[in-house]
Structure 1
């Protein structure tokens, strides 16, 4: 790559500073052509990695007062020459400076192209590159720290260890096939089986923790479900500790889907409050009810809330039917009021499900619900540890594909099949694992990964 890319690396809008970043062979020359230092040294003459104060000019027209730094390859983020221009924040200044760099020969960077160059130039592998965007998108301390460990190579190192054992098996098999008469270590089925079992166990360990890893990264997609006026909006407000949803005695107040986020001891809850489930002739409310039913499919957790101050009806039983086998918390609300349902009514509704008797207007009840969520997903306690959690769907699929191929290898070993058949499946294992770190990824995969980045990163 010889072309030079340029982009705004800070978010659009009012801010203290804005940053325009360039990377490529001509980045320093382009920046030097629009920068006038206050001292005697030009940008080209200035020291590496040293801030220089001056002004950006469009010919004779002053654009902004800036600090600028050049970073010489290969010790940069992209392993190319990099320049960063720190100007006043806002829309106009950064846009004018960007336009100047484009006028002088740079081209606008594509989404994620700086990180893509870091990958292509060997500074990061693909798993580490994906960790960069996870860091940017992190909404909790735990997800941030997980992403940071992956950026430092925790997952890449584990994959490298597994690949090394598989390559050792492959090399031994190839040697025995190609040079049977030479004095080499014999590839015995017992030794191959030992290695294969170790690989499967390693893959199982990574896959086993993947569901929890995804929840730690993306949060628990939580849907609040219930009839109108059972306390759904009060529950949402209680969990948010804020008056986010309108609470009235009028049925059908919530007609659209309301989504917000709660940080639960470092774990993100993505909470969706839905329209009350009931039969209705109101066209707008019926659309809300349909959206509520659709939200169930993508949920990790359903909090179903029922009003015990009035008899259960068909709508309550429909809600239980909609939940099905989804992970759920059943709340019997308004425990502070006279119950209009019997113990038998409750047993008939909830069947074998656990439930909580609550009044969502109380802070203590909200804490009980939060503790229940932690118990269901994290054994009652959310804490950081050194466990490696795989949280990327692409990685999970690759691990499962590698495990499936390894199971074929084990089966062939048990049946003492020809060594060349084992080699084919071992190559499939290596290919699947290589997709995670980028060693065997296609251009389409790379384009998909980096398209999710913002421009400028």
Structure 2
């Protein structure tokens, strides 16, 4: 597909709503809109200045009215894509939007590909690659901290740090090449000492960024968290308490939950992808047995395990099995039903596990604040400030590029230590500079760009 094409797509979620938006972008965007839209003023959109809202009607080829609409006119470069953009704001029903979209295609636009509007914004220099990726993160953010990280990336906080490091590296490359061009100055030791100091400084910045990767990925994707325990220990009650809604059925009958229930919960700004599993016990019920097997599998797959135990009863064989299952795993042990007469104490439970033990009561919500604090402590590494999310590394691709750039810088230091020529040092530094450019899109290949934008929704 060519970037010179004029494209159109529905830019709002499908379904019924007050407003539905069709976005048109490209050289013929205004001409396409003029074909399907009749302004109440009788004027053509071409005659209006940029950044104007115009009321009128969507009409078909026969001149029949399809819908009332407001049109937003944005001339290049003052638009999302830096091209001429027209947004048709229709009523948010499926039929009027589909009909209007089809009319734009008949008028000369083509269907936009996934993420093509944002891809054009990137190719036209309005956004760099990290900012473009942040567009979808803003849309899919599940907590305030997730949104803060995505918004920070969209505002360029993360890429500003990357560009600063590239600028520092490029300065050292220029310094080396100047020394290579004027060998009569004989200042190799002075040059390499300065380059070494600056390379160490950039490596420290990269390492600091990499420390945020674990937290950033959780804020973006959610922390996969399994709630496990024997039947009737309060797993579904905990899920409901964390969600603050009656999502799971709660009864006094053991084995009520036979399949896994998955929901997102906002725990102190951390998005938890919570899975409420079937109670782990021996059973002859075929359906329940499948649920129990899945519960055991989730213990291995999850990044965090919330293991529940009944504080009003002694440890059972089922409890012992669960303690064995979570051994060596990243877990929080929750002593539930502490509102009842105590039988199993937190001290006794702590003797059986290396995981932190937290006393809770799902009925009264006692201890849930302590649980939230413990989860935050696990997500935010020590020394990391909550509030700097806008500069966090937020996916594995970014982390891997930073690791590779750091390795090139380490190679430069080894080259200096080996006493090799300045041109060899320059090669290592240029490799690091180019690798960091893959984050902002300045040195990334077209296939990677296409892969990134293929994950976007149509219309964005």
TM norm structure 2:
0.92
2:52 — aligned with what?
50
**CA distance in structure 2 between the partners assigned to 1:184 and 1:426 by the alignment:** 19
CA deviation profile, 1:145-192 (whole Å, cap 9, x unmatched) = 222221121111111110111112222323334553479998622111
**CA distance in structure 2 between the partners assigned to 1:180 and 1:289 by the alignment:** 73
Matched, 1:226 2:229: yes
Equivalent pair of 1:266/1:382 in contact (CA under 8 Å): no
Which of 14, 23, 26 lines up with 1:24 in the alignment?
Answer: 26
Equivalent pair of 2:259/2:278 in contact (CA under 8 Å): yes
1:155 — aligned with what?
158
Any unmatched runs of 5+ in structure 2? none
Which of 367, 370, 394 lines up with 2:369 in the alignment?
Answer: 367
State the secondary structure of the residue aligned to 2:431. Answer: helix
1:215 — aligned with what?
218
**CA distance in structure 1 between the partners assigned to 2:305 and 2:146 by the alignment:** 22
**CA distance in structure 2 between the partners assigned to 1:37 and 1:343 by the alignment:** 72
Moved more, 285-294 or 86-95: 285-294
Moved more, 315-324 or 377-386: 377-386
- 1:219-298 equivalence runs, <5 A: 219-298=222-301
State the secondary structure of the residue aligned to 1:289. Answer: helix
Which of 182, 197, 200 lines up with 1:197 in the alignment?
Answer: 200
- 1:57-456 equivalence runs, <5 A: 57-59=59-61, 60-181=63-184, 188-339=191-342, 341=344, 346-350=349-353, 352-378=354-380, 383-385=386-388, 388-456=391-459
1:6 — aligned with what?
8
Deviation at 1:332, TM superposition (A): 2.0
CA deviation profile, 1:202-221 (whole Å, cap 9, x unmatched) = 11111112222223333333
1:312–1:294 distance in 2 versus 1, CA, 3 Å = same
State the secondary structure of the residue aligned to 1:111. Answer: coil
Deviation at 1:248, TM superposition (A): 1.8
1:324–1:96 distance in 2 versus 1, CA, 3 Å = same
State the secondary structure of the residue aligned to 2:366. Answer: helix
Equivalent pair of 1:176/1:187 in contact (CA under 8 Å): no
Deviation at 1:371, TM superposition (A): 3.2
CA deviation profile, 1:402-421 (whole Å, cap 9, x unmatched) = 11221121122222223233
Equivalent pair of 1:234/1:360 in contact (CA under 8 Å): yes
Moved more, 416-425 or 47-56: 416-425
Equivalent pair of 1:374/1:380 in contact (CA under 8 Å): no
Equivalent pair of 2:56/2:68 in contact (CA under 8 Å): yes
Equivalent pair of 2:214/2:379 in contact (CA under 8 Å): no
**CA distance in structure 2 between the partners assigned to 1:337 and 1:380 by the alignment:** 38
**CA distance in structure 2 between the partners assigned to 1:294 and 1:21 by the alignment:** 45
**CA distance in structure 1 between the partners assigned to 2:456 and 2:143 by the alignment:** 19
**CA distance in structure 1 between the partners assigned to 2:211 and 2:53 by the alignment:** 48
State the secondary structure of the residue aligned to 2:352. Answer: helix
**CA distance in structure 1 between the partners assigned to 2:30 and 2:390 by the alignment:** 43
Deviation at 1:88, TM superposition (A): 0.9
Deviation at 1:94, TM superposition (A): 0.8
**CA distance in structure 1 between the partners assigned to 2:258 and 2:29 by the alignment:** 53
**CA distance in structure 2 between the partners assigned to 1:310 and 1:166 by the alignment:** 63
1:347–1:119 distance in 2 versus 1, CA, 3 Å = closer
**CA distance in structure 2 between the partners assigned to 1:382 and 1:388 by the alignment:** 11
Equivalent pair of 1:372/1:380 in contact (CA under 8 Å): no
Alignment RMSD (CA, Å): 2.5
1:403–1:228 distance in 2 versus 1, CA, 3 Å = same
**CA distance in structure 2 between the partners assigned to 1:343 and 1:63 by the alignment:** 67
State the secondary structure of the residue aligned to 2:67. Answer: strand
CA deviation profile, 1:303-350 (whole Å, cap 9, x unmatched) = 111124344244323322322333221112233445555889635522
Deviation at 1:13, TM superposition (A): 0.6
State the secondary structure of the residue aligned to 1:446. Answer: helix
- Paired residues, number: 456
